[in-house]
Amino acid sequence: MLNSVPCALSFKREDPLSLHRLIMESRHFVATIWNSVQYWLCCCVALSVLQTIAALFMLPGLMTTWQVLWFCCIVIPAISISLMAKPLDMDVMKKPQGKIQTVVNLNGAIFVIWCYGSKFLLTFVVVTASYIGTLSSHCNQMCIALPNCTCAFLFHPILLNDSMLTEGWDENKWTLHVSRLILCFITLLHFVVISTGFIHRDHLMFQKPAHSNLYWLATVFTLIAVQSVYTIIVLMVVRENEYDEKYVVPLWVIIFGALSSFGVLIISEMVKKQEIKVNKRFLKRARLDFGTKLGMNSPF
């Protein structure tokens, strides 16, 4: 544990040195690193799942390459690193360390998948539904204005002009630009809301609020501000194209995307409450699991 502290210790012989404090700092540091890695990995997997869902529904890419890089190289790392700046948890010394398991526990793996998957489940539903809703609305608006136009699968336009068949959405068109900007903003909001549950893993939000981590608070406000400015600038640039038809974005998509953040927060707290119960059960078992008869016969 002491070797995990990323700095050299320099002190004089007469200086008081608390070994207990060093161990506490070390365990806190390792716990925050593991917590940040978990969030980092979950968000990256969530982005991959979103793109996979889009491919399964035969949708255009949910995000462009640059938008994916923005999330993978800037947003997710910045939030993950800010999670490490939470105040020192004095209760970290009360948590016993369990035995290292060399065999994968199937029940534990299922619980981990359920625990982290449930937090991102609403994100998958909201982002996919908003994307399909926007494309479907724009497809209907386009087919009303243009003859010989039909919408396949509700969101896939097919246009027949002079014996030429044109189908799908152009990457440089207004529809995909607006849809992807909305999805990026919704995804960012959901990632920020989900990150609140990774600040204090052993306490619910009403017990220990997330704003106690000021670095995290400054990071998320900066990311949201940058994303907002970028969205406005891109919309202004795209709107200047006179030859591109500007279809109206459904109002329900914006309202649904904004209010869904509260649903993500509620689900995240419910899952976190269950996770805390399981962790307490594990801690009770770890305290009794000393290879003694008491530990082996423990009802936990």
176-212 pLDDT per residue, tens: 889 999 999 999 999 999 999 898 888 888 888 888 8
Phi, psi of 47 (to 5 degrees): -60, -40
Can you spell out the DSSP letters for 90-110? GGGGGSPPPPPPSS--HHHHH
Residue 218 scores a pLDDT above 90: yes
Q: What percent of the chain has pLDDT over 90?
A: 35
> What is the mean pLDDT of the segment spanning 57-81?
92
pLDDT at 242: 59
Residues 73-111: tens digit of each pLDDT: 999 999 999 998 887 777 777 666 655 666 667 777 787
Q: Which domains does the chain have, with CATH numbers?
A: 20-84+104-296 (1.20.1110.10)
226 by Cβ neighbours in 10 Å (0-12 / 13-18 / 19+) ranks as: middle
pLDDT at 207: 84
Identify the band that residue 40 occupies on the pLDDT scale cut at 50, 70 and 90. very high
pLDDT at 164: 62
pLDDT at 73: 94
Kindly give, in sequence order, each residue whose CB lies less than 8 Å from that of residue 61, ignoring residues fewer than 6 positions away: 51, 54
Q: Please provide the average confidence, as pLDDT, over all residues in the chain.
A: 82
What SS3 class is residue 157?
Answer: strand
pLDDT at 1: 45
Kindly give, in sequence order, each residue whose CB lies less than 8 Å from that of residue 168, ignoring residues fewer than 6 positions away: 60, 156, 157
Can you spell out the DSSP letters for 253-285? HHHHHHHHHHHHHHHHHHHHHHHHHHHHHHHHH
Residues 279-299: tens digit of each pLDDT: 777 777 766 665 554 444 445
pLDDT at 150: 79
Encoding tokens for residue 25? 């700092």
pLDDT at 176: 86
pLDDT at 260: 94
> What is the mean pLDDT of the segment spanning 34-52?
93
The Cα 273–Cα 230 span in angstroms is 36
Q: Which residue has the tokens 């506490």?
A: 24
pLDDT at 295: 47
Can you spell out the DSSP letters for 17-54? --HHHHHHHHHHHHHHHHHHHHHHHHHHHHHHHHHHHH
pTM (predicted TM-score): 0.84
The Cα 245–Cα 277 span in angstroms is 54
